[in-house]
Chain A
Amino acid sequence: MTRPMTHLQRLEAEAIHIMREVAATFSRPVMLYSIGKDSSVMLHLAMKAFYPAKPPFPFLHIDSNWKFREMIAFRDRMAAELGFDLIVHKNEDGVRDGVGPFTHGSNTHTHVMKTVALRQALDKHGFDAAFGGARRDEEKSRAKERVFSFRTAGHAWDPKNQRPEMWKIYNTRIAPGESIRVFPLSNWTELDIWQYILQENIPIVPLYFARKRPVVERDGMLILKDDERMELRAGEDARERMVRFRTLGCYPLTAATESDADSLEAIVAEMLVARTSERQGRMIDHDESGSMEKKKREGYF
């Protein structure tokens, strides 16, 4: 008699099953690698799913040009250590036009440097399936998304007309130009992610751990002054505070939280008593109610 599987074993088995399904049925899959904790878990699972082989697909990072410097360094270190095939794509039009969150606002910046950039990269390489690390517990419109989520040739999501997804039988059939977004972590919660990182000893960007960092308080959010492109307004100054990040994105759009949690255990302890959800630190979700659904329909992950 074998022991029943633990909760994380069940989640791991499901994610591995999903990844193998994609490798077996698509001709040109790619895994989105955003460098955050969910991506780190996804990368770890991909290394497991195809062991002893390497994952049979490349990893794509959409570089919005405004990521934390520590994220980029971490990305390059992981690619070198694990030897996976890394593709970095920037929207060069946006870089040329100087698009950024300070000058253009979060909406335009996200659209040009992330959504459009992603579509460019998918089209350029002809990827027919793209893994994303989104979880259903993150946000309400994500709670509605299938594991295999169909996209039209224009990368659009039609939330009112999703394919029924019965059992673990995934419909992977698409016409030329169409694609599928695949979410192997759909059923994971934030707690599961941290617990798995702890259990498997998965490396993550140090920004998740509390440390003294120079932050500026702006519009009620603590923003890390990561480089010279952030100009201080009158009355603002960058002060050293003990902070960490619960989620990572573009540094001007990602708020730090004051915290002393400098170990994984402390992070989990902090999370267990947390009274705000992790996406609160993400400004792009708060532009308007339903804004995540809108971005997703346009092709955002």
Chain B
Amino acid sequence: MDGVVRQYEVTMELDVADEIREFLAGQENKSLLRFLTCGSVDDGKSTLIGRLLYDTKLIFEDQLATLERDSRRHGTTGEDMDLALLVDGLEAEREQGITIDVAYRFFATPKRKFIVADTPGHEQYTRNMATGASTADLAIVLVDARKGVLRQTRRHTYIASLLGIRHVVLAVNKFDLAGYDRAVFDRIAEEYNSIAGALGFDTVVAIPISARHGDNVIMPSSNTPWYDGPTILGHLETVPVGDRLAEAPLRFPVQYVNRPNLDFRGYCGTVASGTLAVGDKIVVAKSGKGSKLVRIVTSDGDLDRASAGQSVTVLLEDELDISRGDMLVAPDSRPNVADQFEANLVWFDEHALLPGRSYILRTETDQTPATVTALKYKVDVNTFAKEAAKHLELNETGVANLSTQAPIAFDAYADNRVTGAFVLIDRLTNATVGAGMITHPLWRASNVHWQALDVEKTARAGQKHQRPAVLWFTGLSGSGKSTIANLLEKSLYAEGLHTYILDGDNVRHGLNRDLGFTEDDRVENIRRVGEVARLMVDAGLIVLVSFISPFRAERRMAREMVDDGEFVEIFVDTPFEECARRDPKGLYAKALRGEIRNFTGVDSPYEAPERADIHLQTPGRTPEEIADEILNWLKERDYC
């Protein structure tokens, strides 16, 4: 008897195990939809997600207890539970009742799995909204039924379209407070359609909801009998999520080279689009060199083929010079390889985008210095009108031409969301300051070929028996740069060396007379002088550049225009008080009276060098002593 019972229990357990495995297999094959909620502040984004989690039974008892406690403390819903507190995870968010950063939440229904990014509504946190949008397939844009379409509704809808989101849902929320009035819904939906219609989404669906009470979120609401469209969840479960990248041409950005021993050279990466198969011919996009794929290695055994999204290691037949940043592609359908292209930009940083300034451009695996050569226009988020602009401020979007130091391989973002995207990184703070979506290459670069000349820099310099260099003097106005540079040039001349001085004031009378003193003009000022200095170094000269050059980024740009060892940064370090006291041109007095604007040290910043090659503290020393110090430094290092 006892044995029979035990037998029965064992069978039960086996059944449970089978059932669990079956259930898990079902989970495995569900499709995944990534979406975000966005819209203006207080439109109820977090509450909607809280509602979805709550109604799909994803809130645990201990979380509910914490929620009830927090609702009493921070809640904005009176006696009811404040579902938004389920998602607003940061202390500051709960205290202020707003969302600051993207929160990612996960839930599943019998039909699908979901990753939802809850993004902030405040304009100042637009970059966090863009973060959530960059990986989403669908956007739920919320509006408050009492307020209708607002500035942020338009902005977020526009950014969603820029980032390639195919589907939008307009959730007209707080509909309970608008009396479930059909006319209100129709008016808002119509206004929204006129906006979104022009942005090229695949689907735009408007749904009247109350996130707080659950109307039309999961279950159709009896309060809106006139509405016969889908509920939020019903729509999320059925909107198509076809993966277009699987059908696109092969793109395999090489992320990491795996070389455990001399016989194994594997290129690791995630297939960005298309399919790799053993035996396929591929080419390396930048070099154009071809080879054949011989193995696709994973720790679970070799594969015959691998498609978009899979992280694999591939082996080629030939030993090619391939490293991180290269891209293996289909020979008959290659990406663009160029160093000039046009892109849509979204700006994230308090410091505006300045055309001419050098940033680090980073794609999924490649990086190179890049500058915006022309800002074509910015886009007004309210009217989507194109406006002329000299720079792009925080949270603004626009279209620009970019130039990279080295060519990169890319596709148009509209064709490939992986290989058409990049971010821009500030070279000093390392902050991610902007994001870009490439529209098309510019062919200037390929049509204007560099003219190869027979007489080279080394030949020209050798004729003069000298080593060409840029001696770059930076410091405040009145610090003594020009005086010292002038004395140094005399000494160098006396030694029989061939030199030239580029002086800030003098150059502004000619080459740069069209430039003022705004931040962007200062950047362009230095770019031009850097280019002239580069040509002179190419001519074999020792160039003394005497410019305030207040920004580190531009001095670094000038340094990078010439070869290693050809640039000597000389910091003429005279304190502000001393420069203002000397005031050789009477400029400090004027600036301090407010008669001159954008004066370095007064109302425009000076960024002192962090590691100048020569750092000169001038107080208490004569210009002659200082010029001698530089001369000795140059001699010790064989510059002269």
Binding site for B on A (CB under 8 A): 2, 4-10, 12-14, 16-17, 20-21, 23-24, 47-54, 136-137, 139-144, 159-160, 162-169, 171, 173-175, 186-187, 189, 191, 195, 198, 263, 265-266, 268-269, 272, 274-277, 280, 289-290, 293-294
Chain A minimum-CB-distance residue to B254: A24
Interface flags, B1-37, vs A, CB<8A=1, else 0: 0000000000001001101110110011111100000
Query: Are B432 and A164 closer than 8 Å at their CB atoms?
Result: yes
Query: Are A164 and B299 closer than 8 Å at their CB atoms?
Result: no
Query: Are A277 and B60 closer than 8 Å at their CB atoms?
Result: yes
**Neighbouring B residues of A139 by C-beta, 8 Å:** 89
Query: Are A289 and B310 closer than 8 Å at their CB atoms?
Result: no
Residues 431 to 449 of chain B near chain A (Cβ within 8 Å): 431-432, 435
Partner pick for B32 among A7, A51, A186, CB 8 A cutoff = A7
Chain A minimum-CB-distance residue to B306: A2
- Across the A-B interface, give the 10 residue pairs with the lowest CB-CB distance, nearest first: A140-B89, A53-B260, A51-B299, A265-B17, A277-B60, A16-B311, A13-B311, A173-B430, A290-B91, A24-B256
29 of the cross-chain contacts (CB-CB < 8 Å) are A4-B31, A13-B270, A13-B309, A16-B311, A20-B255, A24-B324, A47-B299, A48-B298, A140-B88, A143-B103, A143-B104, A143-B105, A144-B101, A159-B101, A164-B432, A165-B432, A167-B418, A167-B421, A169-B363, A169-B364, A169-B422, A171-B423, A171-B432, A173-B430, A265-B20, A269-B19, A276-B62, A289-B70, A290-B94
Interface flags, B77-100, vs A, CB<8A=1, else 0: 000000000111111101000001
With A17-B311, A20-B268, A52-B297 known as contacts, the answer to whether A265 contacts B423 (CB < 8 A) is no
A-B contacts besides A142-B89, A169-B423, A269-B20, 4 pairs, CB < 8 Å: A167-B134, A168-B364, A198-B24, A275-B61
Chain A minimum-CB-distance residue to B101: A144
Chain A minimum-CB-distance residue to B19: A269
Query: Are A51 and B134 closer than 8 Å at their CB atoms?
Result: no
Query: Are B255 and A21 closer than 8 Å at their CB atoms?
Result: yes
Query: Are B430 and A174 closer than 8 Å at their CB atoms?
Result: yes
Q: Is B131 an interface residue (CB 8 A)?
A: yes
Query: Are A17 and B16 closer than 8 Å at their CB atoms?
Result: no
Partner pick for B101 among A7, A162, A175, A268, CB 8 A cutoff = A162
**Neighbouring A residues of B92 by C-beta, 8 Å:** 159-160
**Neighbouring A residues of B17 by C-beta, 8 Å:** 263, 265-266
Partner pick for A166 among B30, B87, B297, B423, CB 8 A cutoff = B423
Q: Is B539 an interface residue (CB 8 A)?
A: no
Q: Identify which of A164, A175, A189, A289 gathers the most chain B CB atoms within 10 Å of its CB.
A: A164
With A6-B28, A13-B270, A143-B103 known as contacts, the answer to whether A24 contacts B255 (CB < 8 A) is yes
**Neighbouring B residues of A191 by C-beta, 8 Å:** 27
User: Chain B's nearest CB lies how many Å from the CB of A293?
Assistant: 6
Query: Are A166 and B131 closer than 8 Å at their CB atoms?
Result: yes
A174 to B432, CA, bound (A): 11
**Neighbouring A residues of B256 by C-beta, 8 Å:** 20-21, 23-24
Q: Is B391 an interface residue (CB 8 A)?
A: no
Query: Are B435 and A164 closer than 8 Å at their CB atoms?
Result: yes
Chain B minimum-CB-distance residue to A7: B28
User: Chain A's nearest CB lies how many Å from the CB of B31?
Assistant: 7
Query: Are A166 and B432 closer than 8 Å at their CB atoms?
Result: yes
A143 to B620, CA, bound (A): 58
**Neighbouring A residues of B27 by C-beta, 8 Å:** 7, 191, 195
Q: Is B491 an interface residue (CB 8 A)?
A: no
Query: Are B310 and A187 closer than 8 Å at their CB atoms?
Result: no
Q: Is B387 an interface residue (CB 8 A)?
A: no
Q: Is B203 an interface residue (CB 8 A)?
A: no
**Neighbouring A residues of B88 by C-beta, 8 Å:** 140
A290 to B90, CA, bound (A): 7
Query: Are A166 and B90 closer than 8 Å at their CB atoms?
Result: no
Chain A minimum-CB-distance residue to B90: A159
A213 to B67, CA, bound (A): 33
A138 to B248, CA, bound (A): 36
A173 to B362, CA, bound (A): 11
With A7-B28, A144-B102 known as contacts, the answer to whether A165 contacts B131 (CB < 8 A) is yes
Q: Identify which of A5, A12, A53, A166 gathers the most chain B CB atoms within 10 Å of its CB.
A: A166
A294 to B90, CA, bound (A): 10
A263 to B13, CA, bound (A): 10
**Neighbouring B residues of A289 by C-beta, 8 Å:** 66, 69-70, 73, 94
Q: Is B546 an interface residue (CB 8 A)?
A: no
**Neighbouring B residues of A50 by C-beta, 8 Å:** 258
With A8-B28, A53-B258, A143-B105 known as contacts, the answer to whether A266 contacts B89 (CB < 8 A) is no
Q: Is B518 an interface residue (CB 8 A)?
A: no
Q: Identify which of B24, B27, B130, B435 gathers the most chain A CB atoms within 10 Å of its CB.
A: B24
**Neighbouring A residues of B360 by C-beta, 8 Å:** 173
User: Chain A's nearest CB lies how many Å from the CB of B6?
Assistant: 15
Q: Identify which of B61, B256, B275 gathers the most chain A CB atoms within 10 Å of its CB.
A: B256
A142 to B89, CA, bound (A): 8
Interface flags, B291-310, vs A, CB<8A=1, else 0: 00000011110000111011
**Neighbouring A residues of B432 by C-beta, 8 Å:** 163-166, 171
Query: Are B298 and A51 closer than 8 Å at their CB atoms?
Result: yes
Chain B minimum-CB-distance residue to A190: B106
A20 to B437, CA, bound (A): 24
Partner pick for A2 among B300, B307, B435, CB 8 A cutoff = B307
Query: Are B29 and A280 closer than 8 Å at their CB atoms?
Result: no
Partner pick for A167 among B19, B135, B425, CB 8 A cutoff = B135
Interface flags, B361-380, vs A, CB<8A=1, else 0: 01111000000000000000
Chain A minimum-CB-distance residue to B427: A173
Q: Is B154 an interface residue (CB 8 A)?
A: no
Chain A minimum-CB-distance residue to B268: A20
Chain A minimum-CB-distance residue to B310: A13
Q: Is B631 an interface residue (CB 8 A)?
A: no
Q: Is B113 an interface residue (CB 8 A)?
A: yes
Residues 299 to 346 of chain B near chain A (Cβ within 8 Å): 299-300, 305-307, 309-311, 313, 324
With A20-B255, A52-B297, A195-B24 known as contacts, the answer to whether A171 contacts B101 (CB < 8 A) is no
Query: Are B103 and A51 closer than 8 Å at their CB atoms?
Result: no
